[in-house]
Amino acid sequence: SLLVAGFSSFEVLTYRWGIASLILAIAGIILGERFRITGKDWQTVFILSLFRATTSFSLVIAYQNIASGVASTIHFMYPLAVALTMMLFFKEKKSFSILFAVFISLIGAALLSSGGDTATGLIAAAISIFSYGGYIIGVRKSRAANIPSTALTCYVMGFGTLFYIIGGCLTDGIRPATDSHAWLNILGLAIPATAVS
Whether residue 171 is predicted with pLDDT greater than 70 in this model: the reply is yes
Please give the pLDDT value at position 114.
Answer: 64
Please give the pLDDT value at position 127.
Answer: 93
Higher-confidence residue: 117 or 105? 105
Give the Cα separation of 126 and 104 in Å (integer).
16
Please give the pLDDT value at position 142.
Answer: 92
pTM, two decimal places: 0.86
Please give the pLDDT value at position 135.
Answer: 95
Give the Cα separation of 19 and 182 in Å (integer).
14
Higher-confidence residue: 25 or 65? 25
- Whose CA is closest to 58, among 14, 123, 141? 123
Q: Which of 11-20, 27-36, 117-126 has the lowest mean pLDDT?
A: 117-126
Whether residue 115 is predicted with pLDDT greater than 70 in this model: the reply is no
User: How do residues 132-157 score in pLDDT, each as one tens digit?
Assistant: 999 999 999 999 999 999 999 999 99
Higher-confidence residue: 119 or 152? 152
Give the Cα separation of 90 and 134 in Å (integer).
13
Per-residue confidence at 163, pLDDT binned at 50, 70, 90? very high
Whether residue 21 is predicted with pLDDT greater than 70 in this model: the reply is yes
Give the Cα separation of 181 and 134 in Å (integer).
35
